Structure 1
Amino acid sequence: MKVLALEDNKELAGSIHDFLSMAGYICELAENVAQAKNKLLSFAYDCILLDIMLPDGSGLDLLKFIKAEKIQSGVLIISAKEALDDKIKGLESGADDYLTKPFHLSELHARLRAIYRRKHSNGNNSNIISFNEISLNTDTIQAFINNQLLDITRKEFELLMYFVVNKNRVLSKQAIAAHLWGDYTDNLANLDFVYQHVKNLRKKISLLNGADYIDTVYGLGYRFTAAETEA
């Protein structure tokens, strides 16, 4: 999962970053609304941790921006404010959940996982993401093609999940690299490793007779293109 944490308290932001990184997430930080907007327009995030009180504005204003730009990330408000009005405004503006400071990082982690599951699951098991013959278990980090276990690395699992939850969207090599490895890849001149990961994933899916939904969009990147199988 890739998370953007918008928090101006550097100590708290650092703690969140370190905790989520140790949990296997990619966590990026922004300390004000302007930085957050730039990141949201450049990269895709699964979840956004959003403080309300910020140096250059309100997190509630950023929620309006997220809605206007049709950004599909889950949003968890984290704020020292305990007023009921703030919670209601945040939820009515599009937030998925609200966590009041101070909080335990383990609770933050649980809330993020719950938001992610609600956003991307379809079916009765909230840890299962399915598309046609593809099934992804986000708890066990396992992928199945036609009910057969797919032999892939964790990065390949994350890449496949990124494609599935963003189907029919063109994803640039830079966006894929940043999603899987963080935005330190911004200054890399060569992103051929993305091509290699996509190639390996295609090959492994093909070995289990899975369909090749990944289209190359020349000059732009890749698109996971397919129609849902009718029941």
Structure 2
Amino acid sequence: MKILIIEDEIDLLQNSKEFLEAENFLVETAMDYPSGLEKVMNYQYDCILLDIMIPGGSGLDILKQMKAANRKQAVLILSAKDSVADKVLGLEIGADDYLAKPFHFAELLARIKSIIRRNAQEGSSLLTYKNITVDPENRIVRIADKTLSFNRKEFDMLYYFLLRPNKLLEKTTLAEAVWGDHADQADNLDFIYSQIKNIRKKLKDADAEADIQAVYGVGYKLV
């Protein structure tokens, strides 16, 4: 799962990044309005942590730009401004939740997981498709009553597919989701093929009722 932190307090930014990476999130960062806006408009995230007061503009303006462009991404506002007006405005514009600074990382993690469950898993702690069940928090994959072993990248990619069944996903989209926003600048995307080959074999060996189908020249989809 991929998180974007838009925050200009360098210590908070770095500490948050290290904490979330230890929790197996892929974390991207931005420290001002222009770079934050560029990322939310060009890349997809499971959750965006958005500070209101950032150099060059307001986090609320980023929310407005996202809404105008119909960029539907989960947003958790982080701000030292704990006024009711800011909170209400942010939620009205499209934020999913609001967390005032200073905060405990345990609460931050709980809020992020709650937002992701509401937006992607309809409130459930598990994600199920056909006979495949994924527990994202404990990083467990089961097919029927069988538990499968996946490495970190394989798990992240399978989870990304399961959130978007039957949707065609381009190779660059998969690379960015699992390896980071600049993966599309790699000389080639052969590493995507090798990961998917491993996932497909594990699904087939476990008699999964779903498979990852290649769409020549474009990408893949879970069917």
Common fold: TM-score over 0.5:
yes
Provide, for residues 34-69 of structure 1, a one-character-per-residue CA deviation record: whole Å limited to 9, x for no partner. 212322233221000011112222211211222333
**3-state DSSP of counterpart to 2:88:** helix
- For 1:26-105, what aligned pairs fall within 5 Å after superposition? 26-105=26-105
- For 1:7-26, what aligned pairs fall within 5 Å after superposition? 7-26=7-26
**C-alpha deviation, 1:132, in angstroms:** 1.9
Provide, for residues 136-165 of structure 1, a one-character-per-residue CA deviation record: whole Å limited to 9, x for no partner. 112321112233222322321211110111
Match of 1:191 among 189, 192, 201: 189
Distance 1:181 1:134, change over 3 A: same
TM-score w.r.t. length of structure 2: 0.91
Q: Distance in 1 between matches of 2:137 and 2:14?
A: 26
Paired letter, 2:58: S
Provide, for residues 58-88 of structure 1, a one-character-per-residue CA deviation record: whole Å limited to 9, x for no partner. 2112112223333343210001111101101
Q: Distance in 2 between matches of 1:10 and 1:116?
A: 25
Q: Distance in 1 between matches of 2:216 and 2:43?
A: 20
Q: Distance in 2 between matches of 1:75 and 1:108?
A: 12
Structure-1 residue corresponding to 2:143: 145
**C-alpha deviation, 1:186, in angstroms:** 4.1
> Quick one: percent identity of the two aligned structures?
42
Paired letter, 2:62: L
Distance 1:184 1:44, change over 3 A: same
Provide, for residues 105-164 of structure 1, a one-character-per-residue CA deviation record: whole Å limited to 9, x for no partner. 2221121111112222247xx320111221111232111223322232232121111011
**3-state DSSP of counterpart to 2:29:** strand
Q: Distance in 2 between matches of 1:8 and 1:18?
A: 16
Q: Distance in 1 between matches of 2:213 and 2:37?
A: 29
Tell me whether 1:178 sits opposite 2:176 in the alignment.
Answer: yes
Q: Distance in 2 between matches of 1:219 and 1:41?
A: 25
Provide, for residues 78-100 of structure 1, a one-character-per-residue CA deviation record: whole Å limited to 9, x for no partner. 01111101101111111111011
Structure-1 residue corresponding to 2:198: 200
Where structure 1 has 5 or more consecutive residues not aligned to the other structure, the ranges are: 226-231
**3-state DSSP of counterpart to 2:49:** strand
Where structure 2 has 5 or more consecutive residues not aligned to the other structure, the ranges are: none
Q: Distance in 2 between matches of 1:167 and 1:57?
A: 37
Match of 2:167 among 155, 169, 175: 169
**3-state DSSP of counterpart to 2:103:** coil
Report the aligned-residue RMSD.
1.9
Q: Distance in 2 between matches of 1:170 and 1:70?
A: 20
Distance 1:140 1:120, change over 3 A: same
Q: Distance in 2 between matches of 1:89 and 1:122?
A: 25
Q: Distance in 1 between matches of 2:149 and 2:13?
A: 36
TM-score w.r.t. length of structure 1: 0.88
